[in-house]
Amino acid sequence: MKKRESKKNSYRVWFGMALMFFLLYTLPMILHFKKFNVDFRSCFYTPELFSKNGIIFLRAFVFELPFAVVRWTVNIGMIPLVVICLLGGIICLTRKRINKEKS
């Protein structure tokens, strides 16, 4: 019985996650007019990284990549996550309505 109830209200979880990500990450950047780092290359802080060649470039790039991904995610990457959560909520709500109409 509890599994059915949790499925029934799963759209609330999706919408709640979308609201949480939006309020915590995206809204403060919009309100404070901070610049979004759309360019992924600008998230790499290693000096002259893209002017290096060969294994030196590869080692520096692999080392810096996780940090750059986190910087990008905090900036612009949360917007796709909010959209995915909203879509998940809409899909769950639509399935709920379709199942209700079938019954």
**Phi, psi for 53 (deg, rounded to 5):** -130, 160
pLDDT value, residue 101: 79
Q: Which value, in Å, is the radius of gyration of the alpha carbons in the chain?
A: 20
Model pLDDT, residue 6? 55
* Token pair listed for 18: 């979308």
Mean pLDDT over each residue of the chain, to the nearest integer? 76
Given this model, what pLDDT does residue 1 score? Answer: 42
Q: 11 pLDDT exceeds 80?
A: no
Of 20-34, 36-50, 77-91, where does mean pLDDT reach its minimum?
20-34
84 pLDDT above the threshold of 60: yes
**pLDDT score at 100:** 77
Confidence of residue 5 (pLDDT cuts 50, 70, 90): low
Please write the tens of the pLDDT for every residue from 63-74: 999 888 877 777
Three-state secondary structure string covering 31-86: HCCCCCCCCHHHHCCCCCHHHCCHHHHHHHHHHHHHHHHHHHHHHHHHHHHHHHHH
